[in-house]
Structure 1
Amino acid sequence: MLDVHRLRLLQELHTRKTIAAVAAALGYSGSAVSQQLAQLEREAGVPLLERVGRGVRLTPQALILVEHASAVLHRLEQAEADLASSMPTVRGELRIATFQTAMLALIPPFLDRLAESAPELRVRVRQMEPEPALSALATGDCDLVIIEEFPGHPRSRVPGLDRVPLATDPMRLVVPETLRDKGNIIDLADRPWVLEPEDTPSGRWARALCREAGFEPEVVVSSCDIVSHIRFIETGHAVGFLPDLVWRGQPPTVPTHPLPGQHRRLYSSARSGGSGHPAIVLARAELECVRDGLPLGSPRA
């Protein structure tokens, strides 16, 4: 009989690529992981790993096992969800990963609501960009992620993860008070800009919007910290683009102008096997309640 724990290690190796990465993620020593995988080889009766330089790679037989392991682990997560659903209260631990503006605007009121509706549920939140957050979700390092998707830059679907629409968040052109009357992108072609880095979805979207208007933006500040964007715009050092969510339902501190048809979409994502867990179901319901109290659009707009 194949050991489920060892099958999970094999799946982790398939995802994380190196034994060292598996060991670091799961809190084991590298030698312990290697010994467990060697035992799995003996149980399976076929070679599962082959040496490649200083590392290893999975054999074709190992890939067959990985496919079955995914199905087994999926069913085990469903079993855990069913057991949790049989309990009278929502309890345990829920690990959430999300990006900066959602962290600032959605998570505090979300935690307030959960403290009332599920006082026995422990919630752990960490800030992560969507791509690493989805990877962490796929490998079991978190249970629910909130992600963003910008116009013209859809994210690839990750097998085994669901995706539930949460809201649409209008993007706006944002300028210093001295440029209040400059409401068109082309009017700001010769101004300094603050944008997210070009290798991020937001950064690619923003630069594409400027290029469609006929110019290449002079980016004087490149930062993933949206709060710093606000500061540079407030002090007159740059212009930029910001989502409505950044204001957390309060009046903007600088002039903003609409960008017709330009909004990012917000989603929540969980592993398909665990999406029926009562903590996930409740968290998504509470997120929707928080959304309804903010100036966000319909999730399917």
Structure 2
Amino acid sequence: MFDLHRLRLLRELKHRGTLASVAAALSYSPSSVSQQLSQLEAEVGVQLLEPVGRRVRLTDQAEILVAHTERVLERLERAEADLATSLTELTGTLRIACFQTAALTLVPSALNLLRGLHPGLRIHITQMAPEAAMLALQARDFDLAIVEEYPGNPNPRLAELEQEDLLDDPLHLALPASAGHAAGSSPTASLRSLADHPWTMEPEGTAARNWGMTLCRSAGFEPDIRFETTDLLITLRLVEQGHAAALLPGLMWKGQPTTVALRPLPAGHRTRRIFTAVRRGRSQHPAIQACRRALREAAAESEPTRS
């Protein structure tokens, strides 16, 4: 019978890419990881890794082993869920990755609910970009991820993960004070009226930036991006002070009056999807279910009120 620990190391290598990354994630030395994988090759009797420059990649036979390892680990997570369900008190640690606006709005309310209902459950929160959070969830760095998805920019559908919708978050054009309240009457005209105004957006390569650029170009202009940040609180402050136009989600205000003038966006670009993701076999764990319930309650209170 193959050694499960060594199989997990092979799986880690598939998801993390390098021996050094596997070693860092598991607190091993790279030489120890390499030695364990060499022993696994001896056990199975076939080559599992082949050199590619200074890196290694998995052979077809290694991919077969990893696929079986995924199913074994899924069964073990289901066993863990069944064991936790049999207990009367919810304990342990739940590791959550989430993006900024969820961390600012949904998560604190959900934590309040969980603290009252399950005081023995320890919650660990890490703010992380959605793209990285999904990969880290797949690699078992987290138990649950809260993720955003922008119109026309769907996230990759990873077979190992299960998704559950949380809410549709409205997206708005945020007018800087210097632009006044006289932007064009139609959504496209409102966008086009700010073609010569400075803009703030997330950095290149992010889903929000790709969506924002597509939106502006569809309206017929290239935005003059003067400010780049992933911090929406900075973005909001720049708009409030009249320094830039921006595209902001309704979740920023979570039931509170808005602080800037907002305009609707063209059809097809008006909401982003927010959902939770877990690994297959993990969704029935009582800690996951309790967290998802708390997040749904927090999401139900998130509709912003216009000032």
Shorter-normalised TM range = over 0.9
Aligned equivalents of 2:114, 2:242: Cα separation in 1:
40
Matches within 5 A, 1:1-301: 1-178=1-178, 179-182=180-183, 184-261=190-267, 262-295=270-303
Aligned equivalents of 2:258, 2:197: Cα separation in 1:
21
- The amino acid that maps onto 1:171 is L
Secondary structure of 2:161's aligned partner: coil
Alpha-carbon shift at residue 260 of structure 1 (Å):
4.9
Aligned equivalents of 1:201, 1:63: Cα separation in 2:
30
- The amino acid that maps onto 2:193 is D
Structure 2: 5+ residue stretches without partners: 185-189
Aligned equivalents of 2:246, 2:207: Cα separation in 1:
15
Secondary structure of 1:221's aligned partner: strand
Secondary structure of 1:174's aligned partner: strand
Give the TM-score, by structure 2 length: 0.93
CA contact (8 A) 2:254 2:301 kept: no
Q: Give the length in aligned residue pairs.
A: 296
Aligned equivalents of 2:146, 2:58: Cα separation in 1:
32
- The amino acid that maps onto 1:167 is L
Aligned-residue identity in percent? 50
Q: Which moved more, 1:93-102 or 1:36-45?
A: 36-45
| 1:109-162 deviations in Å (ceiling 9; x for gaps) | 111111011111100001000010001000000010011111111111012001
CA contact (8 A) 2:130 2:146 kept: yes
Aligned equivalents of 1:125, 1:276: Cα separation in 2:
20
Secondary structure of 1:253's aligned partner: coil
Secondary structure of 2:264's aligned partner: strand
Alpha-carbon shift at residue 42 of structure 1 (Å):
2.2
Structure 1: 5+ residue stretches without partners: 297-301
Aligned equivalents of 1:197, 1:109: Cα separation in 2:
29
| 1:186-231 deviations in Å (ceiling 9; x for gaps) | 2212111111123211111111111111111111111111111111
Aligned equivalents of 2:12, 2:235: Cα separation in 1:
38
Q: Which moved more, 1:123-132 or 1:185-194?
A: 185-194
Alpha-carbon shift at residue 98 of structure 1 (Å):
0.5
Aligned equivalents of 2:276, 2:161: Cα separation in 1:
10
Aligned equivalents of 2:50, 2:261: Cα separation in 1:
60
Secondary structure of 2:171's aligned partner: strand
Aligned equivalents of 1:169, 1:72: Cα separation in 2:
37
* Runs of 4+ residues over 6 Å off in structure 1: none
- The amino acid that maps onto 1:240 is A
Provide the residue aligned with 1:299 in structure 2.
none
- The amino acid that maps onto 2:296 is E
Aligned equivalents of 2:145, 2:63: Cα separation in 1:
27
- The RMSD of aligned alpha carbons is 1.4
Aligned equivalents of 2:176, 2:48: Cα separation in 1:
60
| 1:58-97 deviations in Å (ceiling 9; x for gaps) | 2222222111111111111111111111111211110000
Aligned equivalents of 1:221, 1:130: Cα separation in 2:
21
Aligned equivalents of 2:41, 2:176: Cα separation in 1:
64
